[in-house]
Chain A
Amino acid sequence: MGTLYIDDQPVEFQPGDNVLDAAKRANIEVPYFCYHPALGAVGSCRVCAMETVPSREGEQPRTVMTCTLKAQDGMRFKFAQSDKAPGVSKTMVEFYMTRHPNDCPVCDEGGDCHLQNMTVEVGHAYRRFDGQKKTYPNQLLGPLVWNTANRCITCYRCVRFYQDYALGDDFGAMGSRNNVLFRRIDDGAFDSPFAGNIITVCPTGTFTDKVFRRKYSRTWMLKKSASICAHCSVGCHVEPGARAGTLRRVVPNENSAVNQYFICDRGRYAPHASEAADRPLQVKVGGQPRQEPALAVLRQALAVSDARWGVMGSGREDVVTNLVLQQLAADLNAPFTAFTDPLTEVRTKTAVNLSLSAPSLQDIEASDCILVVGELTEHAPMMELAVRQALKQGKPVLMLHASASVLAGMIRKQRSLQAQTQAPVLWAETLQKLISQLTQEQADGWAALLKNAKAPVLLGVAEVMPTAVIKALAELAAVIGEHSRLGFALPAANSFGAAQVSQAGSSEQLLTSLESGAINALLVVGADPMSGWQGERWSKALAKIQHLVVVDHIHSATVQAATVVVPSAAVSERNGVFINYEGRVQSFAKAYSRETPVLLQEELIGLLSSDARARVQSQLQSMLGSAMPSPGSAGNRIKPATLPIGQVAEAVLGSGTALVLQGWHGEEEVAGFATELASLTPHDSVGIAPAYAKALGLTLDKNSRLTLSVHGKQLTLPVALSAQIAEGCVAVSRRAFAELQARLGDEVKLTAAIRLSEEPAEQPVVAQFTPVRGDHSNGGVRP
């Protein structure tokens, strides 16, 4: 805390501020391009220059870059420009504009452009230089990001984010001297799950949102709101923008408690599922469209005389909706669950019970030793970006994983021993070994790193961790001590809240009552049981019943099988409350209404009796405690009582080969309906470690195919050899799991199938896992 002076005006600053920060805080409009609060200062744009005021006799005034100068008490600067002597800033902006194209009318950044703002701010209006403009070739960067290289002002923000902040390596500064430009080595989509952020950090229109480009609107015309991302359990703050009743773009909403400045590509592009061509927008009963209001149709459907109901909520629906459904179930005397898979339910609840001291993303970034169990990138990308910040600072990041993961590859590149591949059934054993080492005071290796850390963080991926591993990780946290933080990436945005409203063993109960015929009607809100882990069981059970009422906003398998379909609102079209993986209660606000009205989930309360409404209110009160947080605020964390957990059979260690999940970062129930993002889905393959294949006596190369047999079902897939896959395991995608009707950890029989091509086999490929890009259409792009 201190005071410095800009043009004799006193400016207060906070510890750690640079002069630019202080000036910005005092509302002095200093232009800047290369500085970014999350990326720091490099002083490359030379625009935030000010002149020092000599304090001693004989001292000359100097021009300094305020972003690179730490604020100190009593500093004096001259910033104001005069017409006679334009300041450095104005001259610099004029330089930048000598080769900037006249693109503003066709540039997507126009009206929301840092360069435009700064140019207007310094008062530069006419290009005095009448020479020719330098031009740069554009690059095709896949279906998500659009590049127009001429507009670049070489502030380096994009590479500083992509390489320095997000540790990506397939994009960088190319060329030399004054021919520098920023691009990938080859055309095509970015590898990084965070590539969309270069759109946000770019102060010009060099990188723009290609999905937004296809349905462009000026940003000032968009209807915006403070919303929460619904595509993983981190709960990042986002700002959807909509016009004419359709979603146009999603950008991060800056906040300090959760995701600060960035979001992952799943968060940025998955919400476009609300614009999918097959989205249900019409109330349909028995396939016939109905004109009545959605709620009236639901009421009619629920009043059928011969129906014995079951009710299903979902982890991707908000807290209030799940509570309302729970009370509706009580009114109907029906079983209720918010989970589609008993195994996931048990794992989620076990993880939620142990998440009371879960680290925030900032805690993870500041940690000095992190242990990750499971493939974090593929389940909670932003949590993994926080891990990368610790990794970047050279802090040890230990990882146990079973299938290829981006994070594991990154750790291996730096410190090969800190990522270990192992079948999930063995993780508990490894963690127990660590625990015994820590208790026996003879710690070395991983145990020593965890023991000596001041702020160790343990992270798990609940969906892929057997319950014993979740418990072992908690035990490890307890052994390390009070200063350790334990958190879990949960399967869905509101899994924490869903766990609070479901009874122990609720999904198994609902499933068995359906199978036994105890109930013959099911109301499903925002869930897709037919394509989850128990898809086959659900499909069989649901095929028998007469009434399947589905309320959803995606054209899921369950919607296709439903007798009554009621279209509901996507997250940006409604208000609600999510609880993230830390137990942080965050509410989100509606950004827009669709032209064809859809059922807002808040309206479901209209189905309840007045008693039940009162019960919802009191439960909400007891669950969320104090007042509901306002949208856009950081929310408050709750510490609920321990949940009762049912029993469920886990996979056990067998001598055969186990199936593990090969995820990718853009994958989620709703995200699969966002056309552009889904076009990047890697091709299906079966991942296997070359050493393990050899041990099994299989001779494999990149043209080989393997036939997987599980419980009599067979599937043949091309082989992806990767040393990142655990011994005793083969890794396949969710889609393959569904086709095989298999569950995590199921034993699989492998047989070699006909080769893909008859060409002579080359050397076996032993490489890092590189997802094969889907053949996304260029959308009419010039070749």
Chain B
Amino acid sequence: MKNLKNWVGEITGAFSATLKHAFAERDTVCYPAEKPDLPERWRGRIILTVTPEGEERCVACYLCSSVCPSSAITIQGAEREDDERRYAEKFEIDFTRCIFCGLCEEACPTRAIQTTNDFEMGASSRAELVYDKSRLLENHTGKYPDFDYFKRAGVPIRGKDVGEGANEKPPVDVYTLLP
């Protein structure tokens, strides 16, 4: 008798759950017709961003490639011809290796490298998943619309000489002997 009661309970319980979910709001979406709503801090496709003035933010400091646990980032820095502003001559992310941990974004002192909530990166070969700089660089400031590292650094660049940065006094006159 007790067995029968359990048996009926299980049947009705299971069917009622099925019935309830049949009419509940859906968690899945009809991708790709309908795009999922991802949180802002989603760690998807990695991009390189630019300053509000449109200059590349990356200064080729190698911190992202050093911190990358799967060695997916390859960089070679260079200096811009006219003002010695350092930039990444070569910047490659191998997305077949990338584990989207976001450590590169965390390490970046200039907020150049940022994760986005794009995850649609399907490709038909591994080589296509190695993104070079032309595919990584976006003409966008990303999550930090106002940040410009070189305004805060001490090195001179085009349009900002020594002593013209944020929080800097004009350079001292090295020839003066006045107190």
Contacts and interface: CB of A to CB of B under 8 A. Distances in A.
Contacts of B81: 780
B174 A174 contact: yes
A516 B33 CA distance: 88
Interface in A393-418: none
A106 interface: yes
Interface centre among B59, B174, B177 (most CB of A within 10 A): B174
A135 B174 contact: no
Contacts of B80: 780
A128 interface: no
Nearest to A220: B66
A104 B162 contact: no
Contacts of B65: 221
A102 B154 contact: yes
Given A106-B155, A137-B162, A174-B174, A782 B82 contact: yes
Contacts of A102: 152-154
Contact of A148 (B86, B154, B169, B171): B154
Given A179-B174, A181-B174, A134 B155 contact: no
Nearest to B81: A780
Given A213-B79, A221-B62, A133 B84 contact: no
Given A132-B168, A221-B62, A782-B84, A106 B174 contact: no
A215 B153 CA distance: 21
A782 B162 CA distance: 12
A100 to B, nearest CB: 8
Interface centre among B63, B84, B170 (most CB of A within 10 A): B84
B109 A150 contact: no
A151 interface: yes
Nearest to A149: B162
B52 interface: no
B12 interface: no
A101 B154 contact: yes
Nearest to B150: A106
Interface string A182-193: 010000000000
Interface string B157-175: 0000011010111111111
Interface in A207-224: 213-218, 220-221
B174 A105 contact: no
Contacts of B156: 138, 782
Contacts of B177: 176
Nearest to A217: B62
B79 A101 contact: no
Nearest to B112: A105
A133 B174 contact: no
Nearest to A179: B172
Contacts of B149: 105
Contact of B79 (A104, A151, A214): A214
Nearest to A130: B167
Interface centre among B62, B82, B83, B152 (most CB of A within 10 A): B62
A191 B73 CA distance: 41
B167 A135 contact: no
A148 B154 CA distance: 9
B63 to A, nearest CB: 7
A88 to B, nearest CB: 26
A753 interface: no
A775 interface: no
Contact of B66 (A106, A213, A218): A218
Interface residues on A, range: 35 or more
Interface in A605-661: none
A175 interface: yes
Nearest to A177: B179
Contact of A136 (B60, B77, B172): B172
Interface in A340-357: none
B114 to A, nearest CB: 16
B83 to A, nearest CB: 6
Interface in B138-156: 149, 152-156
Given A132-B168, A179-B172, A105 B82 contact: no
Contacts of A771: none
Given A101-B153, A780-B80, A782-B156, A132 B169 contact: yes
Given A103-B154, A179-B176, A136 B171 contact: yes
A211 B50 CA distance: 28
A244 B76 contact: yes
Contacts of A177: 179
Interface string B44-75: 00000000000000011111011000000000
18 contacts: A105-B149, A106-B86, A110-B61, A132-B168, A132-B169, A134-B169, A135-B162, A135-B172, A136-B174, A137-B172, A176-B177, A177-B179, A181-B172, A214-B79, A216-B86, A218-B61, A221-B65, A780-B79
Interface of A: 101-106, 110, 132-138, 148-151, 174-177, 179, 181, 183, 213-218, 220-221, 244, 780-782
Given A135-B162, A135-B163, A150-B155, 18 more contacts: A101-B155, A102-B153, A104-B61, A105-B61, A106-B61, A106-B155, A134-B169, A134-B172, A135-B168, A137-B171, A137-B172, A138-B156, A149-B162, A151-B154, A174-B174, A179-B172, A218-B62, A780-B82
The 6 A-B pairs with the shortest beta carbon distances in the complex, nearest first, are: A101-B154, A105-B61, A135-B163, A150-B154, A780-B81, A105-B109
